[in-house]
Amino acid sequence: MATITEKLMTAEEFSRLPSPKDGSKQELVRGVVITMPPPGFEHGTVQVNISSLLNVYVRPRKLGRVTVESGVITERDPDSVRGPDVAFWSKERLPLDIKPKGYPDVAADLCVEVTSDRVGLRRALEKLKEYFERGVRLVWIVDAEQRTVTVHRSVEEAEVLPESATLSGGEVLPGFQCKVADFFA
């Protein structure tokens, strides 16, 4: 009996795919393209708030680069490319004069996932392990419904911050601070 095997896509092939015309979001998971519906309005608002706050801190200090929904390679052979809602690459990991084509082959320092329901939270937790195995140093899971930020310094170490708390960038973004509430303003 013959078996049909699906050809797995590489991160490089995935980077050359056209953007979906319907606005959906795609990720590459172990060589297979996964399509998700486009994020809702609240998700987008929280995402832009986070990226703006980070960029206002990072850019004038020339600390690195902040991206929104840019692919992050989390696994190779077969390849996975995840699309965190916001990511930060320090200039030490990705020098400012380097402009990667496709996706950087170095891990981001910070990945931020915005969730607004149980399905989104489950997806974010699936990505969490991949991020840390690849070398991401810090992950924030931002729950738009509960208005909290869960700060992950590793897969095992997490701290939930309520809306009234102050979030810091820790060792990844020394000196960065903002109210968790600022993400939801």
CATH code of residue 142: 3.90.1570.10
In a domain, 1, yes or no: no
Instruction: Decide if pLDDT at 183 tops 80.
Output: yes
In a domain, 17, yes or no: no
Instruction: Decide if pLDDT at 145 tops 70.
Output: yes
Kindly report, residue by residue over 112-142, the tens digit of the pLDDT: 999 988 778 888 888 999 999 999 999 999 9
d(CA 181, CA 120): 20
* Number of domains forming the structure of the chain: 1
In a domain, 3, yes or no: no
In a domain, 52, yes or no: yes
Q: Which residues of 11-29 are buried (b: 16+ CB within 10 A; e: fewer)?
A: beebbeeeeeeeeeebbbb
How much is the average pLDDT of 95-107?
Answer: 92
How much is the average pLDDT of 33-59?
Answer: 94
Q: Tell me, what's the pLDDT at 85?
A: 95
For residue 18, cis peptide bond before it (omega within 30 degrees of 0): no
Quote the domain boundaries for residue 95. Answer: 23-184
